[in-house]
Amino acid sequence: MARIKINEVERENSSDKVEKILLGAMQEFLAHGYAGASMDKVAAAAGVSKATVYSHFQDKQGLFKVLVEQLAKKRFESIFGTEPLEGEPNIVLRGLLTKALNQMLKDKEYQAFQRMLIGESARFPELSQVFLRSIAKPGSEIIASYLASRSELNIPDPEAMVWILMGSLLHLVIAHEIMHGKEIMPMESDRLVDALMHLVVKCAD
């Protein structure tokens, strides 16, 4: 009985450390990229020794991959946590675009994640593919099937329309937040969403 308790506690502590390491790794890798991050600083940020890091993860690459997959999973769940899309496009779609854009514009962790994924996409192509498969694609499909379901919108190619919608939002996030260009190329979120809604809704012949 006492023995079992000890085992449970030990297992808990061990899992605790794994989470602390992943948290420290997140800080380091998101801030400095793969090559710029150091395992010493990961260990320090996690509050453990470097040897402990290596006892839970094979090497720097292994830790990095687990971290990215974990972050992608987290984002994935936050997408599928939304209720299914139904109702008036002029309200539902506008709400969706506004909410998605404002969330991306505010969420510094998301921006750092996106920046790191793109920055490392030459060295770690599988990881950017994980992101596309688990986040970009499912998100696109949800919106595409909504657009297709609203036949009154009369959209000739809903899938292409989704590329346009997502690309427009992405462009604003990259130019303004990731590349720090708010002052260089100003554009109001609402103005962009208005223009998109005009294209989607008002152009139904």
Partner DNA sequence: GTCTATAGAGGGATAGAC
Partner DNA sequence: GTCTATCCCTCTATAGAC
Supply 61's token pair.
């690459």
49 touches, from its own copies, DNA, none (C-beta below 5 to 8 Å by class): DNA
Q: Which two tokens stand for residue 98?
A: 């506004």
Q: Which does 73 bind (CB under 5 to 8 A by kind): its own copies, DNA, none?
A: none
If one asks whether residue 38 binds DNA (CB under 7 A), the answer comes out as: yes
Half-sphere exposure of 126 (CA within 13 A, CB side): 7
Residues 112-151, mask of contacts with its own copies (x by CB under 8 A): x--xxxxxxxxx-x--xx-xxx--xx--x-----------
Distance CA 49, CA 51 (A): 5
* Pick 8 or 157: Cβ nearer its own copies: 157
Q: Tokens 């308790």: give the residue.
A: 5
d(CA 43, CA 28) in angstroms, rounded, equals 10
199 binding its own copies? (CB under 8 A): yes
Q: Which is nearer to DNA, 116 or 162 (CB)?
A: 116
Annotate each residue in 28-47 with x if it binds its own copies (CB under 8 A) or - if it does not, as one string.
Answer: ---xxxxxx-----------
Strand, helix or coil at 182?
coil
Residue 17 binds what, of its own copies, DNA, none (CB under 5 to 8 Å, by partner type)?
DNA
Give burial (CB, 10 Å; 0-12/13-18/19+) of 53. Answer: buried
Q: Give me the residues that bind DNA (CB under 7 A), please.
A: 10, 13-14, 17, 37-41, 48-52, 54-56, 59-61
